[in-house]
Chains A and B, each alone.
Chain A
Amino acid sequence: MAPQLAITLVFFYWPAGQALYQSMLRQDPFGLRTKFVWFANFRKVLADPAYLNSIKVTVVFSLATAIVAMGVALLLAVMAEKAVRGKGLYRTLLIWPYAVAPAIAGMLWLFLFNPSIGSLAYLLRSLGIAWDPLLNGTHAMILLVSAAAWKQISYNFLFFVAGLQAVPKTLIEAAAMDGAGETKRFWTIVFPLLAPTTFFLLVVNTVYALFDTFGIVHAVTGGGPGKTTETLVYKVYNDGFVNLILGDSAAQSVILMAIVIALTAIQFRYVERKVHYG
C-alpha cells in the first residue's frame, strides 16, 4: 500500500497540484518575475483562436479515428464469428498491430505515403491524385487517422469478438425461425445487444485518440502543415516544451484533466448500469 501511495503522491498529486498552481501564474518573458493572475490564463487560452482550432482538430481526429477503427473492427469481428473454421488463426493474425508503438505505426504509414519515396503515394499519384501530406492539411489528417485507426483495430476487434460471443444463440435462432434475414437479425438483435461493448469502446477509443496518439502526430506531421493537425496534447507539449509558455501550457493541462475526468465519470456511470442489468 505504502509504495503505491508514495509514488502516486509524488508523481501524480504533486504534479497535478503544481499544474493547478502554475496555471494561475504568469511569467514575464525572461522568467524573472512571476505573477499570480487567477484565471487569466484560462481566459486567454480559451479565447485563443489557435487553441480553438486545436480543439476542432482534436474532435475531428478523435471522431474519425474512433469511427473508422470501430467500424472496421466490427465488420471483421462479425465475419470472424461466421467463419467457423480458422477463427483462431484469423485472430492471431489480426491482433498484432496492438503491439506496435503508435509512433512507429505513424512512421510506417508515413513511409508508405511519403510523397517522395512512398510506394502508395506513388500509386495515388499515378491515379491522378495530387497526394502530398506534407503540404495539404486534409491529406495529413487522413494519413494520421489511418495510422491511428490501423493501430486500434486489433484492440476493438478483440472486444467485439468477446461481445458477439455473449449474444445468446437462442435469440438469433428464434429470429431466424420467424423469418428474419441475416442483415435484419444483425441490426435488430446483435447490434443492440452489442451496445454496451460499443459504448465502452467509444470511450476507450476517444481517450486513445486524445492521448496515445501524441506519438503519431509528433512523428508524422509535427502538428503541421500550418496547424491543421495540432491536437490538444500536442499543443500542451508544444507550448510547454518548445515555446516555453508555461502558464498557458499548464492551463491547457488542467483543461485536459477536466476532460478526462468527465470521460471517466461517463464510463463509470455506464459500468454501474451494466452491473444492474447483470
Chain B
Amino acid sequence: MIGQSPLRTFIAHAVLILGILIVAFPIYYTFVASTHTLQTILRPPLPLLPGGQLWNNYSEALFGGIGRIGGVSVGQLLLNTTVMALGVAVGKIFISILSAYAIVFFRFPLRMTFFWLIFITLMLPVEVRILPTYKVMVDLGMIDTYAGLIIPLIASATATLLFRQFFMTIPGELVEAARVDGAGPWRFFFDILLPLSRTNIAALFVILFIYGWTQYLWPLLVTNSNDMNTIVIALRKMVSFADADTEWHLVMVTAMLAIVPPILVVVLMQRWFVRGLVESEK
C-alpha cells in the first residue's frame, strides 16, 4: 500500500463525514420534527435539536392521531405494508427458486422458450404496464385485496435469473452423487439445493422486502378503500391536504414509522444485503 500524507487522510474523513451529514440530514430532521409541537414546526426555522414532545407526539399518533387524519389506524397501515412486503419477498423467492430449479436441472420440451418468456420480463417494471395490468386486476376482481397488491409485483425475472446463475455453479458430480445415493428430485431440492442457497435466499429476501415496502404506484392504483392502504400511500394522502391544516407533527411520526422498519432490516442484515445487491445485479 502506498503511504499517504495525514492531510489527505484527514480530507478523506472530512468528505465522508460531510457526505454522511447530507445523507442523514433529511431523516434526522424528520425525527427532530416529530418531537416538536405543531406550532414550532409551522414557524421555520425548526431547531436542530429534538424537542420535548417525543412522548406526547408518538402516543398521540399511535393512539388515534394517525387514524383521525389518515382514516385508518396505524396498526392496519403497518400490517398492510408488512403483509405486502413479506408477500412480495416470500412469493417471489418461492416461485423463482422453483422455476430456476426446473430450468437448470430438468430437460423438457420448450425449456428454452419458457426461459426466454420469463427472461424478457426482466427489466419491464410494473410502471410501464400500469393501465392494462390494472384492467386485468379489475377483471379478476382483485382490487383491494392483498393478492392484488402482491401478485403482479411477483411477475418479474430478476430473482429467477439469480437462482439460475447460482444453480449452474453447482457441480454435476454433486447432482450425480445424490442420484446414486437414491435421492429423488424433491429430496435433492430440499436436502441439497435449499441448504446451499441459504445465503442467496437471505440476500434476496432483504432486497425484495425493501422493494415491497417502498412500492408506491401499484398500491396507489390497486387500493381504493383506506383500509387497504400501505403506509407510504397513507402518508402521501396526509401531506396532500392543504398545508395549513396538516398536522405536521403527526405526519412526521408517521414518516418515521414508515422509514424505520426497512432501515432496520437493511442495517441489521447489512452483510447479506450488500452481497445480494452487488452480486444479483452483475
| Residue pair B117, A117 in contact (C-beta under 8 Å) | no
Query: Nearest chain-A residue to B24 (Cβ)?
Result: A93
| Residue pair A117, B248 in contact (C-beta under 8 Å) | yes
Give a binary string over A189-201; 1 marks a CB under 8 Å from any B CB, 0 the rest.
0000000000010
Is B180 located at the chain interface by the 8 A CB criterion? Answer: no
Q: What interface size band does chain B fall in?
A: 35 or more
| Residue pair B155, A117 in contact (C-beta under 8 Å) | no
Q: Known contacts being A82-B12, A111-B33, A253-B130, is A7 close to B154, with CB within 8 Å?
A: yes
Q: Considering the chains assembled together, what is the distance between the CA atoms of A68 and B15 in angstroms?
A: 16
Cβ contacts under 8 Å, B26 to chain A = 105, 108-109, 112, 150
Partner of A123, one of B22, B45, B152, B248: B45
Classify the interface of chain B: helix, strand, loop or mixed.
helix
Q: What distance in Å separates the Cβ of A239 from its nearest Cβ neighbour in chain B?
A: 9
Q: Considering the chains assembled together, what is the distance between the CA atoms of A111 and B274 in angstroms?
A: 30
| Residue pair B132, A19 in contact (C-beta under 8 Å) | yes
Is B239 located at the chain interface by the 8 A CB criterion? Answer: yes
Is B128 located at the chain interface by the 8 A CB criterion? Answer: yes
| Residue pair B267, A250 in contact (C-beta under 8 Å) | no
Query: Nearest chain-B residue to A8 (Cβ)?
Result: B155
Q: Considering the chains assembled together, what is the distance between the CA atoms of A112 and B255 in angstroms?
A: 13
Query: Which of A18, A100, A104 gathers the greatest number of chain B CB atoms within 10 Å?
Result: A104
| Residue pair B239, A110 in contact (C-beta under 8 Å) | yes
Give a binary string over B75-115; 1 marks a CB under 8 Å from any A CB, 0 the rest.
00000000000000000001110110111000000000010
Query: Nearest chain-A residue to B15 (Cβ)?
Result: A79
| Residue pair B136, A11 in contact (C-beta under 8 Å) | yes
Q: Considering the chains assembled together, what is the distance between the CA atoms of A207 and B128 in angstroms?
A: 11
Q: Considering the chains assembled together, what is the distance between the CA atoms of A226 and B93 in angstroms?
A: 43
Give a binary string over B1-22; 1 marks a CB under 8 Å from any A CB, 0 the rest.
1101000110111011001101
Is B245 located at the chain interface by the 8 A CB criterion? Answer: no
Partner of B214, one of A76, A93, A100, A257: A100
Cβ contacts under 8 Å, A118 to chain B = 44
| Residue pair A1, B98 in contact (C-beta under 8 Å) | yes
For the complex of A and B, 7 pairs with smallest distance between CB atoms: A215-B216, A1-B102, A101-B214, A15-B132, A99-B262, A122-B44, A18-B132
Beyond the given A76-B19, A79-B19, A236-B131, please list 13 additional residue pairs across the A-B interface where CB-CB is below 8 A. A15-B132, A75-B19, A83-B9, A109-B26, A112-B26, A119-B45, A122-B44, A158-B277, A214-B216, A215-B214, A246-B131, A250-B131, A253-B132
